[in-house]
Structures are given as C-alpha cells and as structure tokens.
Amino acid sequence: MVTQKLIHSLRVNNIKGRSEIKCITLDRGPFGIETTSDIKLVIPMIMQTIEKNLSSFDAFVIACYSDPGLLECKKVFSKPIFGIHESAVKLSTRYGLNFGVIALSEDSIERHRLYINTLGLELHYVGEEALNISVNEAVSNKNTLNKIILSGKKLIKNNHAEIIILGCAGMSAHRAATEKQLRIKVVDPVQASIVMATEAL
C-alpha cells in the first residue's frame, strides 16, 4: 500500500521531469520500518534488491525515512543511491531556513536527531513532533492529515520552524494539503530524493 501511495503522489505532483521513475517493493519484510530491529532486518533485503536491479536503473532511492542500508549500499555499489531522510534534510538546508520534522513516533525522534548530527546538517534543525502512529495509520487513517497539521502548527509556534519535513514516506500524499494549511514550505522526502537523484544524473 505504501508503494502504491508513493506512485500516486509522484504522479499527482508530477515529479518526473526527464527521468523515468519506477517503484519497487521488497519481496518480504515488515509492512513499515519503525524500529531499530526493523532497520537491521531490511538492510540485506535492500542490498539484494538493488543488486538484482543494478543493470536496469541509473540511480536508486531507498524510500524509507530511516535510510536503512544507505551507507552500506554506497560502499558496495557505484551507482548513485539516495536516502529520503538525507535528501530531505539536504534539500531543506539549501533554503537557509529552520526546519522541523513530523515523526511517526517519539521513539524515532532521537534516532533522527543523531542521524542529522552525523550528516553534519544540524545547523537549521529545530526539532520534531511525533504523531505516535504506525506506518499503516500514516497511509490509511483518515485522521492522519489533521494530526500532521496540528504537529506542524506546534513546530511553527514552539520551535520557530520555517520548513516542515514529513518524516515518513507514508505521509507523502499529505504534502500539498499540509503546505496549504500551514502556509510554509512542506518537504516530502520522497520527492526530495527524486530531485537529488535527477540532479546527479
């Protein structure tokens, strides 16, 4: 379901340009990657999937906000590989504005913070708000958009965020509606990674 939502979001937002985009789902693994255990579990699956499709594509995007296996894949494969978390943060920092992140859960916030510090991109990072929902709920729950907007308003008011990053690929479909309600730039990490990938080709 997440993959289908991503395809729809990319089509609706016309994130295509001169490149052809194809979405591939792992043959197995958890529905959503929400914990450290999930991340460790899918890394070899992601690497196997990229290796299997290496000759078919010019670049790859790992469409999970935890960027599972990104570092490992970059070491092994010569083709450009992008993680949506890293891409979203790098794209946001181009504006020179403070950005906040809407996370799935409280548990993921510290992991995100440490990762952003590792990337050396913490200068404009002002914090996160958690929805405390699952990936499945992010994709299918009718109340998810309202929760995203409420969290975004908190980040703007309390953390002085000037850009909001949606911290899960499952939130992609809500980017435009969230941006309209919050009246500031909202970054969908999947779209951000496509921008980065096409720039690299």
Residues 111 and 166 in one domain: yes
Query: What percent of the chain stands above pLDDT 90?
Result: 75
Give yes or no for a contact between 76 and 44, defined as CB atoms under 8 angstroms apart: no
Tokens of 57: 């594509």
Put simply, whether the predicted model's pTM sits higher than 0.95 gets the answer no
Instruction: Tell me if residue 155 falls in helix, strand or coil.
Output: helix
Number of domains in the chain: 2
Residues 99 and 6 in one domain: no
How far is the C-alpha of 72 from the C-alpha of 93, rounded, in Å? 24
8-65 per-position pLDDT tens digit: 555 555 555 567 888 888 988 888 888 899 999 999 999 999 999 999 999 999 999 9
Residues 89 and 171 in one domain: yes
pLDDT at residue 20, as a whole number: 82
169-190 per-position pLDDT tens digit: 999 989 999 999 999 999 999 9
Instruction: Tell me if residue 42 falls in helix, strand or coil.
Output: helix
Range of the domain at 16: 2-84+192-200
CA atoms within 13 A on the CB side of 173: 19
